[in-house]
Structure 1
Amino acid sequence: MISITNLSYYLGSRALYENASLHIKPNQKIGLIGLNGTGKSTLLRIITGEYQIDGGTISKAGDVTIGFLNQDLLSYQTDDSILSVAMQAFERQNKLQARIDELLHEMETNYSDDLVDKLGKAQEEFEALDGYSVQAKAEEILEGLGFSTDDLQKPLRQFSGGWRMRVMLAKLLLQKPSLLMLDEPTNHLDLPSIQWVEKYIQTYEGAVIVVSHDREFLDNVIDVTVEVANAKLNLYSGNYSFYLEEKALRNEIQKGAYENQQAKIRQTERFIERFKAQATKAKQAQSRVKQLARMERIDDVIDEAARVNFKFQFSTQPGRHILHLDNITKHYGPKRILTKADIRLERGDKVALIGANGRGKSTLLRIISGSEPLNEGNRQLGHNVSFSFYAQHQLESLNVEDTLLDELKHANPTKTEGELRGVLGCFLFSNDEVFKKIKVLSGGEKSRVALAKVLLSQANFLLLDEPTNHLDMQSVNILIQALEQYEGTYVVVSHDRYFVSQIANKIWYIEDEQIKEFPGTFDEYEWWMQEKKAAGTSNGSVAKQASNATVSAPAKASSTNGRAGDDERREWQRTLKKLTQQAEESETRIGQLEERKKRLEAELADPATYGDDKLMQARNDEYHRVMKEMNQLQDEWESAMLEVEELEAKLK
């Protein structure tokens, strides 16, 4: 369908592509991946013909049509309704409809055979092009992308950039080009819309090229992965998970070949050095010199799996209770977001706030931060809680004249330049890049700086609104590692399912104007939702009710006169005994872990350990596992002891 052969494209003296080749076949679903700045979006613009190449050829079949969803479409505005904009995809049908209407109007005063004949032909072509169902198709796709029926007649100008991008996506999908190119489509979609687009692409009859950092989206829609690296297009015949496995295998083979070649080079160089001055061996030595010059060198494998080696800390330890939103109500005129909603956040909670756009997720984050006023209810922060808030609009608060180092110094003046360089290194800024000014950074680079500032702030409570937008996969992986190491509490809004599955131990979602909680990981939540739908159960936080059943049982069993009966007291005594035993077991285990922690700290300080990379990594991983288990047990012990106190008070 499209053949790219020996493509070369330069930005100044830098080669984005050099002798790169790719063949795009009909119905292929291609995921285009690579680090930011490697030229993924540039390749899409080269395919459309917007950019002229410096070398090679691009051949297209004569009947190829291309649809390109890119960030430039965000600037498009009009007073036309979003339904009208989407229906611009049906150019011929729209012209025929206008012609039919014109002919019908003429026939009101002139019912000639010629007009009847023209009307018949127009209607026949209109019907052949399925013109009578185009509006229904447009409505179906717009509603699939998250628009309500009432939204369809609203002007495009009223919608935010992300929603305008959805209209542009709907228009492209309705055009059904033979090659559909999508540049970061999930940045502007909520989870239900992402899942809808996945299903649509899976059954799409044309070829698709997707640039995305959402690995689960890629796994679900692509059958070929093309990696942009070293100015080449490297093809892997499978989805993103297959690419990871295959690349690891290729790297292992390349590493072995590189090491073998290096050994041969060293051996040859020793021979040359030893015998070049001996008359009897000089000819052989000269032959080896030529052999080395002709040798095609194998590149060493570059480790792209960046790792966070900086420990993010906070100076003030908060109390057990981080936040309580008590009977809060929030509405904007007639639009109600929350009505007498209640939720608690405890120390160590790692919460992902998920759901469709328009439900109030970002509003809830602002309420938690205190920047959004409530109509009713109370927001109560716990003892010693200090928070830091990351949102996309806060990128504008970066000082554009500051260097990266200066910007991080403002976030945490106590850190040395070496420590700040270490943090910037974690976020993929190295060497002289730390002296770049903020104003020359891309959107993704600014996001990384802003995230680094949040994590450096020493806050013990983080609020993160769509932190993975505009980050490539390597940067997302760094953020995951940073949050795994972070020992505080956070609430994250994200539609990236892989990211959420890695960082959350609780799920929040807004439903029926209430904040619902699922006490488990995202994978567990998805399984629970599927089971719930299959069983046809009513909506609500069933899981939370189940998780609280043991604790709330004594309260529910209270007698109507306010005095505890014998059966009730026996139940309390049994629960008290069980909780006391659990607390003692937790205390014993915490003591064991404390001892192990001390031994690990001694080993990590031993030069013999940090001189051995593998041993250092193993001890470091174990140290984090021990700390994680200790924190979890400490929280369980505190929770058990609070319940013990309550039960002992009742038994007095």
Structure 2
Amino acid sequence: MAAYGDYIRSKFPAIDDELYDYVQGILSGGADDFKDSEEVYEAIGEVLQEVAENKSENDIRHICDHLLLLMRPERAKQLGNGPAKVLNAPVNLASMAANLETNMEEIKSIWVMSRDDGFKVDAKKLEKAEAKLQQKQEKRSQDSVGGKAPAAPRLETATASQVTSKKESKLEDKGSNRAQDIRVENFDVAYGNRVLLTGADLTLAFGRRYGLVGRNGLGKTTLLRMLSSGQLRIPSHISVLHVEQEVVGDDTLALDSVLQCDTVREELLRREREISASINSGCTDPELNSQLTEVYAQLQNIEADKAPARASIILNGLGFTTEMQQRKTREFSGGWRMRLALARALFSRPDLLLLDEPTNMLDIKAIIWLENYLQNWPTTLLVVSHDRNFLDTVPTDILHLHSQRIEAYRGNYEMFEKTKTEKMKNQQREYEAQQQHRAHVQEFIDRFRYNANRASSVQSKIKMLEKLPELKAIEKEVEVVLKFPEVEPLSPPILQLDEVAFCYSPDHLIFTNVNLGANLESRICIVGDNGAGKTTLLKIIMGILTPTRGMRNVHRNLKFGYFSQHHLDQLDMNVSAVEVLQQTYPGKSVEEYRRQLGSFGVTGDMALQTVGSLSGGQKSRVAFARMCMGAPNFLVLDEPTNHLDIESIEALGKAIRKYTGGVILVSHDERLIRMVCKELWVCGGGSVRSVEGGFDEYRRIVERELLEAQAAK
């Protein structure tokens, strides 16, 4: 087992532990289960393909050959090429019939692919592999403890079908399509058995900035992934970059990591080094001097000498100091590597930039800088965000994903809300007017149906009703409601920090001389740059960390509810939401768990789904429900808006205002801060201070600092 385990690690260094354990579970003890390498490929090949870097299907098959050789040397001669693959995604036949001519050649314009957001696996093959793994796990459990083995996690598959026009297909085949606008027409997207989009259209005009909005779980992130991976077809000459994965940590300097994105510049510099080395070594070829002159001219044309300064400005705006820019990427945490990935994307300027919740990883200063930077973005931008202020500042257009389709609106989010509200009112008025007209006509028909003198009029009215367009009543989205528990009042003092200081080491002081207090009426927001000590302060408040100096005094009946910014990592993805509460607070009825989940919008079948199949926002609601199951009287919330949609953030703000206990939160969401906070604590410069004037004053301070930094550059 160790031999092929090490072999898998060597061939797929980027494979995560969960996938590695899954593959190991299928292969371990399974030599007798695999007749040839094709069965090995059927079991794990497509899983490995998803985590492979620059490996083709043939490469994966060769790896499966070698794995079989390691398990069954005597069967190595039985390795085969395997059967032909077939498409397993749905084909939109109705759209084919409506849009294509009867010529058989037109069938070639149908483009169908399937995608798995985690990894791509055929359903029948997966079922077979899971059955084998289940048998092995049950056998092991019977041999040891005799308990029931946990089932392998179910892998949901996202699929897409798309119809492309004959004209676009011919242009693409000839390589003569140079359009900069992107049109994805008449496409369907499903995730597992759930349809996300049907007959949808998406048009992205070059140079415009689009904000994609919609409720959690409707498929916004899935849509971005399908665009970036080619599951939804766009012109091949358009470069697409999706900021989703953090930069891999290695010995590359942060600044160099960004500069390497400019592949044209990197290639010219490589050629310049090679030619110069040849000349310096004594080569007298006259062509070398002319080649070097040409390379210098090209470097000058692309302003290669200005690239380091441009990269440094982007990194500085995202919070990287001059010293940090010279550090190796492996020295940064995951959050900072995500910032590096964003910096690389901004520097490379693809034709289509896809951003998914870019403000999640940023502090308020970096968000303000990013808002200003993206307002001058030269190509096409499609961004998913829950930050109302960001959506009011950056997008020129809003794309609203709802009811399995996408509607486009001109303007920012504020204009979108006004336009959508007015549009819904007009549609409702039109629907009600038609219903009244139908009722009036139907009354005439019913009254004179058997009157021979009015027979022609009745028939005319019936035909008129049949020709009326079918209008539907406006489906109002269900309002999101979050409800925190009622708490008993406590007599002050509740919470007090006196002359508190904290340092992780003598040369790593976080803050000193902190004198702050809170009560059950407190609505305090802590702001400051990343690394300034916001989360450290929260942990001192809750008693998780002990102050280096000073005193922390709390009421003996104070009970904290802590929502961590890494709450998703603390949820078991393989159990249902009900089981998550059951694990933390055992002994209660299922109805009580479901009632608690319902208080945070996790209702119906959603409460019985595995947590891993829920969207980020739905997982956050499960975490809220678990936090409040213990009836805390003081909430400590660290970045609670991450992964929540706009409606859920509004509901969170309302719930905090109604809550009768105390609240301290760390947040970068300007709208939430303005909704709930009565007091602002600012971390930075080795201290924590309360700011008079609230968020408006803090924003003025930040904007002034950004202007000063820009002037210094």
Shift of 1:469: 0.3
Kept in 2, the 8 Å contact 1:505–1:519? The answer is no
Q: Deviations over 1:584-640 (max 9, x none)?
A: xxxxxxxxxxxxxxxxxxxxxxxxxxxxxxxxxxxxxxxxxxxxxxxxxxxxxxxxx
Say which of 393, 403, 411 aligns to 2:566.
393
Shift of 1:118: 2.6
- Quote the residue 2:273 is aligned against: 101
- Quote the residue 1:250 is aligned against: 423
> Within 5 A, what are the aligned runs for 1:90-489?
90-110=262-282, 112=284, 113-271=286-444, 276=449, 291-304=464-477, 306-308=479-481, 310=483, 312-314=485-487, 316-333=488-505, 334-398=507-571, 400=573, 403-405=576-578, 407-408=580-581, 424-489=597-662
- Quote the residue 2:187 is aligned against: 8
- Quote the residue 1:592 is aligned against: none
Q: 2 CA distance for matches of 1:400 and 1:126? A: 50
- Quote the residue 1:37 is aligned against: 217
Q: 2 CA distance for matches of 1:151 and 1:332? A: 20
Q: 1 CA distance for matches of 2:187 and 2:602? A: 27
Shift of 1:4: 2.1
Residue 50, structure 1, aligned to residue 230, structure 2: yes
- Quote the residue 2:200 is aligned against: 20
Residues 530 and 75 of structure 1, relative CA distance in 2, 3 Å threshold: closer
Shift of 1:455: 3.8
Residue 508, structure 1, aligned to residue 688, structure 2: no
Determine helix, strand or coil for the equivalent of 1:133. Answer: helix
- Quote the residue 1:68 is aligned against: 242
User: What letter corresponds to residue 173 of structure 1 in structure 2?
Assistant: L
Kept in 2, the 8 Å contact 1:38–1:228? The answer is yes
Shift of 1:195: 0.9
Q: 2 CA distance for matches of 1:338 and 1:459? A: 28
Shift of 1:369: 1.1
Residue 496, structure 1, aligned to residue 669, structure 2: yes
Task: Tell which deviates more after alignment, 424-433 or 357-366.
Answer: 424-433
Kept in 1, the 8 Å contact 2:210–2:383? The answer is yes
Shift of 1:294: 4.2
Q: 2 CA distance for matches of 1:528 and 1:176? A: 30
Shift of 1:38: 2.2
Q: 2 CA distance for matches of 1:302 and 1:442? A: 22
Kept in 1, the 8 Å contact 2:182–2:206? The answer is no
User: What letter corresponds to residue 65 of structure 1 in structure 2?
Assistant: S
Kept in 1, the 8 Å contact 2:533–2:684? The answer is no
Q: Deviations over 1:57-83 (max 9, x none)?
A: x5x4x864333222xx13734332222
Shift of 1:87: 1.1
Determine helix, strand or coil for the equivalent of 2:260. Answer: helix
Q: Deviations over 1:144-175 (max 9, x none)?
A: 11112111232222222221111111111111
Kept in 2, the 8 Å contact 1:41–1:183? The answer is yes
Q: 2 CA distance for matches of 1:470 and 1:219? A: 19
Residues 265 and 414 of structure 1, relative CA distance in 2, 3 Å threshold: farther
Residues 402 and 255 of structure 1, relative CA distance in 2, 3 Å threshold: same
For structure 1, the residue ranges without an aligned partner over 5 or more in a row are 536-652
Shift of 1:307: 5.0
Residues 79 and 462 of structure 1, relative CA distance in 2, 3 Å threshold: same
Q: 2 CA distance for matches of 1:88 and 1:515? A: 39
The alignment's C-alpha RMSD in Å is 3.1
Kept in 2, the 8 Å contact 1:330–1:339? The answer is yes
Residues 395 and 22 of structure 1, relative CA distance in 2, 3 Å threshold: closer
Residues 222 and 245 of structure 1, relative CA distance in 2, 3 Å threshold: same
Task: Tell which deviates more after alignment, 336-345 or 210-219.
Answer: 336-345
Residues 531 and 122 of structure 1, relative CA distance in 2, 3 Å threshold: closer
- Structure whose residues are more often helix by fraction: 1
Residues 104 and 397 of structure 1, relative CA distance in 2, 3 Å threshold: closer
User: What letter corresponds to residue 187 of structure 2 in structure 1?
Assistant: S
Q: 2 CA distance for matches of 1:221 and 1:263? A: 43
Q: 2 CA distance for matches of 1:47 and 1:124? A: 36
Q: 1 CA distance for matches of 2:310 and 2:482? A: 51
Give the count of matched residue pairs: 526
Residues 419 and 98 of structure 1, relative CA distance in 2, 3 Å threshold: same
User: What letter corresponds to residue 504 of structure 1 in structure 2?
Assistant: C
Q: 2 CA distance for matches of 1:444 and 1:273? A: 52
Q: Deviations over 1:525-566 (max 9, x none)?
A: 43577799999xxxxxxxxxxxxxxxxxxxxxxxxxxxxxxx
Q: 2 CA distance for matches of 1:266 and 1:374? A: 74
Task: Tell which deviates more after alignment, 348-357 or 106-115.
Answer: 106-115
- Between the two proteins, what is the percent identity of the paired residues? 32
For structure 2, the residue ranges without an aligned partner over 5 or more in a row are 1-179, 709-713
Q: 1 CA distance for matches of 2:287 and 2:394? A: 51
Q: Could you state the TM-score of these two structures normalised by the residue count of structure 1?
A: 0.74
Kept in 2, the 8 Å contact 1:312–1:482? The answer is no
> Within 5 A, what are the aligned runs for 1:565-644?
none
Residues 531 and 4 of structure 1, relative CA distance in 2, 3 Å threshold: closer
Q: Deviations over 1:108-142 (max 9, x none)?
A: 33162433333222222222221222122212211
Q: Could you state the TM-score of these two structures normalised by the residue count of structure 2?
A: 0.68
User: What letter corresponds to residue 50 of structure 1 in structure 2?
Assistant: G
